[in-house]
Structure 1
Amino acid sequence: MSILVTGGDGYLGWPTALRIGTNTDSRVVLVDNFGRRDWVESVGSTSAVPIASIDERLDAAEETLGVDTLSFVEGDLTDRAFVDELLSIHEPETVVHTAAQPSAPYSQINGERANFTQHNNLQSTRNLLWGLSEHGLEDTHFIETTTTGVYGAPEFPIPEGGATMENAGERDEVPFPAMAGSWYHLTKSHDAANMRLAHKQFGIPISDVRTAITYGTETEETAADSRLSTRFDFDYHFGVVTHRFCAQAIAGYPMTVYGRGEQRKPFISLEDAVEGLARLALADPDTRPSDHVVYNQVTRSISIVEIAETIANVAAEFDLDVDVKHFENPREEDETHKLEIENDRYAALIDGQSTTFEDGVRQILETVLEYEDTVTAHEDRFLPGVLTSDEPDETVLEFEDSGPDEDVHPAANSEEK
C-alpha cells in the first residue's frame, strides 16, 4: 500500500505528509514541482520562515521523527505521461491532492496568470482522476483540498455539501452552485464538479475537503526540527489575511480595516487542517466511505475587525504597539455579512477544534518575530504591484513607495490565498 501526497513541498501538503508518515508503516510518496517556491519568488517575496530543501526535510523526518517511509518524486501533474508513470509505479490506495496554484490575487493579476492558474489546477486534477480510472485504481480514495471560497457569501447558512432546490413544486438535492469570486476559486469549483462526475462515472470514492482560510506556523511534527518547518507567506499575493496582519504588526504597519469590517470569513488552524486530512488518508479501506462526501474544513468564522483586534491584543504581549485603523471601503461588499457555514461532518472527523484563534496568533508571532528582518526587508510586498512581464516564471513587479505612515493598505482585507 502507498499513499500519494501531491503538493508535498507546500504549506499544507508538507505537514500533512509528516502527520501521515508518523502514523503509518505504508510508503508515503510526496510529489511536487516546487511551483510555490517559484511563484512567490516571482512576485518579489519569500517565506518568512526559512524552508529547507526537500532532501534536508526528508533526512530530518527520519532523524528527528523516526519516519523512514517518506519518498519524493519531482514532476508536473499537468503532464499526462508523468501522472501515468506515477500511478502505474506506485499504485496508491489513497491520494491526498493538495497541489495547486493557491492564490486568488495571483490569478487576478492578468489574463496570462488566470489562464495559467486554471490550466495548472484543472489539468492536474483531471489527469489524476482519469489516470486512476485508466490504471484500474477506481477503489483509490481521492481526497482533495478545494476551498470554502466555492460558496461565495450567500445570505443563507452554507450547507456541508449540496443544496436543496425547489421548482414547480418539486424538490431535489443538487450540487451547491459555483459562486466563486476569483479565477483561482473557480478552479476549485470546477474540480468539485469534476470529482463528482468521476465518482459517478468511475466509482472512485471522493472526499471533497473544502478548506477555509488556514493560519499558523507549525504542527507537532514541524516544531520538532527547524528543517521540518513549513513555509510562511505574508505578501499580498500569497499571504492569507491573518499572516499578513501579523507580519504588518511585526513591521510596524497599521492593520487597515475597510469600513465596519464586520464581514465574517471562515478559518481553520494549520493543526486542525492537517489532522483532518491525515485521518481521512489513514481511514481503514474496509470501513471508509465509498461515496462522494463533502467536508467543510472550517472550525469557526471570524470578522475582519475581530482578526485585527485579536492580533493587536496578542501583539501587546510581545511589546508590539499595533494600530487598527478603519477606512472607507473601496469594495462593493456587505460589511456586516455574518457568514454561517455548517461543519458538523468535519468537526466530528477531528473531534472538535484543538487550537483557538488567539493561540494561533500567538504561535505566529512567536515564530515570525525570529525572522523580523526578512519581513521588514519585504514589507513593500504587503501591497499589490504593477506587472511588468507577461510570463508567469519571469514576473517582475514594481511597487509604489508606501511606508507605515500611508493611510490605506489595499491588501488588508483580501479574503484568502
Structure 2
Amino acid sequence: MTILVTGGDGYVGWPAALRIADRTDDRVLLVDNFGRREWVEETGATSATPVASIDERLEAAREVHGLDNISFVEGDLVEKSFVDELLQVHEPETIIHAAAQPSAPYSQINGERANYTQHNNMQATRNLLWGLEEHDLTDTHFVETTTTGVYGAPEFPIPEGGATMENQGERDDVPFPAMAGSWYHLTKSHDAANMRLAHKQFDIPVSDVRTAIVYGTETAETREDDRLKTRFDFDYYFGTVTHRFCAQAVAGYPVTVYGKGEQRKPFVSLEDAVEGLAQLAVADLDDRPEGLTVYNQVTRAISIVEIAETIADVGSEFDLDVAVEHFENPRDEDETHKMEIEDDRYADLIGEQAQTFEDGVQDIFETLTRYADTIEAHEDRFLPGVLEESED
C-alpha cells in the first residue's frame, strides 16, 4: 500500500510525512517541486531554521527514526502527464494533498502572482481528482489541507463545513458560501467546490481539512535531529502573524499590533495539525470517512493582542525584552471581531490537544534564539518590499 503526501518538502507536509511513516508499515511517498523554497528566495527572505536537502532529510529519517518506508519523487502536479504517471505507477490508497502556494500576501502582490497562485493550486487539485477517476482509483481517500480562510469573518459562529439556509419557509443544508479574502484563499474555496463535485460524480471519499493559522517549530519527530527540522518563515509574505511576532522579538523589535488587536483568528499548533493528518492517513478502511467530510483544523481562536502579550511574557523567560506597541491599522477590518468556529469533528479526530499556544511559543523561542543571526540579517523582510518583475 502507498500513502502519497504532496507538498512533502513543505512546512506542514514534511513533519506530517514523518508522523505518518512512523505510524504505518505502508510506503509513504513524498512529492514536491521545491516551489516553496523558490518563492521565499524570490522575495529576498529565508527560513530562520536551516532546511536540509530532501536527500539529507530522508537519510536522517532512516538513521534517527528507522523509517525505511519513506521516499521521494520530484515533480510538478500542475503537469497532468506527471500526475497520470504518478498515480498509475504507485496507485496510492490515500493522498494527503498539502501542496500549494500558501501565501495570501504573495498572491496579492500583482496580477502575475495572483494568476500563478490560482493556476498552480487549482490545476494541481483538479489533476489529482480527475486522475483518480481516469485511472480507476476512486476508492482512494483524498485528504486536502484547505484553509479556514474560506469562511471569511462572519458575525455568527462558523460551522464545521456546511450551513443551513432558509428561504420561503423551507430549510436545507448547503455548502458554506465562499467568503475568502485573498486570491490564495479563493483557490481553496474553489478546491472545496471541486472536491465536492468529484465526490458527487466519481464517489471519491474526500476529507476537506480546513486548516487554521499554524504555529510552531517542532514536532516529536523533527526535534530529534537538526536535519529533520521543518522550515520557519518569518517574513511579510510567508511568515504567519505568530512567527513574525516571535522573530521581531528575537531581533529586538517591538511586536507591532495594528489597532486594538482584539480581533480573533483561528489557530492550531504544528503538532496538532500533523496529528490530524496522520490520523486520516493511517485510518483503517472501515474507519475512514466514506463520504465528504469537512474538518475545521483548529484548536483555539486567539486575539492578535493576546498573541503579542503571550509572546512578550514567554520572551522574558529567554531574557528578551519584548515591547508590545499599537499602531494605526492600515487594514479595513473589525478590530474587535470575536470569531467563533466549531471544531468538534476535528477535536474527536486528534483526541486531546497536544500543545497549548503558550507551549508553542516556548518551542518557537527555543529554536529561534539559536538562529538570531539569520533573523537579524533579514529583518528588513518583516515589512513588504517591492519585488523585481521577471524579465520574461
TM-score under structure 2 normalisation? 0.99
| Partner in structure 2 of residue 61 of structure 1 | 61
Structure 1 unaligned regions, length at least 5: 395-417
Separation in structure 2 between the aligned mates of residue 234 and residue 328 of structure 1, nearest angstrom: 22
- Sequence identity (%): 78
Separation in structure 2 between the aligned mates of residue 216 and residue 144 of structure 1, nearest angstrom: 21
Separation in structure 2 between the aligned mates of residue 166 and residue 373 of structure 1, nearest angstrom: 57
Runs of at least 4 residues of structure 1 off by over 3 A?
Answer: none
Separation in structure 1 between the aligned mates of residue 113 and residue 60 of structure 2, nearest angstrom: 35
| 1:312 maps to 2:286 | no
In the TM superposition, 1:15-414 aligns within 5 A as 15-390=15-390
Look up the equivalent residue of 2:61 and give its one-letter code. A
Kept after mapping to 1: 8 A contact 2:6/2:13 = yes
Kept after mapping to 2: 8 A contact 1:151/1:158 = yes
| Partner in structure 2 of residue 411 of structure 1 | none
Kept after mapping to 1: 8 A contact 2:43/2:387 = no
Kept after mapping to 2: 8 A contact 1:112/1:390 = no
Separation in structure 2 between the aligned mates of residue 322 and residue 46 of structure 1, nearest angstrom: 23
Kept after mapping to 2: 8 A contact 1:142/1:206 = yes
In the TM superposition, 1:5-20 aligns within 5 A as 5-20=5-20
Look up the equivalent residue of 2:42 and give its one-letter code. S
Query: Which deviates the most, 283-292 or 362-371?
Result: 283-292
The number of aligned residues is 392
| Superposition deviation, residue 388 in structure 1 | 2.4
| Superposition deviation, residue 390 in structure 1 | 4.2
Structure 2 unaligned regions, length at least 5: none
| Superposition deviation, residue 327 in structure 1 | 1.8
Provide the secondary structure at the position in 2 that maps to 1:386.
coil
Provide the secondary structure at the position in 2 that maps to 1:22.
helix
Separation in structure 2 between the aligned mates of residue 158 and residue 23 of structure 1, nearest angstrom: 32
Separation in structure 2 between the aligned mates of residue 55 and residue 330 of structure 1, nearest angstrom: 43
Kept after mapping to 1: 8 A contact 2:213/2:240 = yes
Separation in structure 2 between the aligned mates of residue 155 and residue 36 of structure 1, nearest angstrom: 34
Separation in structure 2 between the aligned mates of residue 329 and residue 87 of structure 1, nearest angstrom: 47
| Superposition deviation, residue 234 in structure 1 | 0.3
Separation in structure 1 between the aligned mates of residue 287 and residue 309 of structure 2, nearest angstrom: 44
Kept after mapping to 1: 8 A contact 2:28/2:70 = yes
Kept after mapping to 2: 8 A contact 1:107/1:182 = yes
* CA RMSD after TM alignment: 0.8
| Partner in structure 2 of residue 401 of structure 1 | none
TM-score under structure 1 normalisation? 0.93
Separation in structure 2 between the aligned mates of residue 327 and residue 382 of structure 1, nearest angstrom: 15
| Superposition deviation, residue 329 in structure 1 | 1.6
Render the CA deviation track for 1:51-110: whole Å, top value 9, x for unaligned: 111011111101100000011000000000000000000000000000000000000000
Query: Which deviates the most, 380-389 or 301-310?
Result: 380-389
| Superposition deviation, residue 258 in structure 1 | 1.3
Look up the equivalent residue of 1:215 and give its one-letter code. Y
Provide the secondary structure at the position in 2 that maps to 1:387.
coil
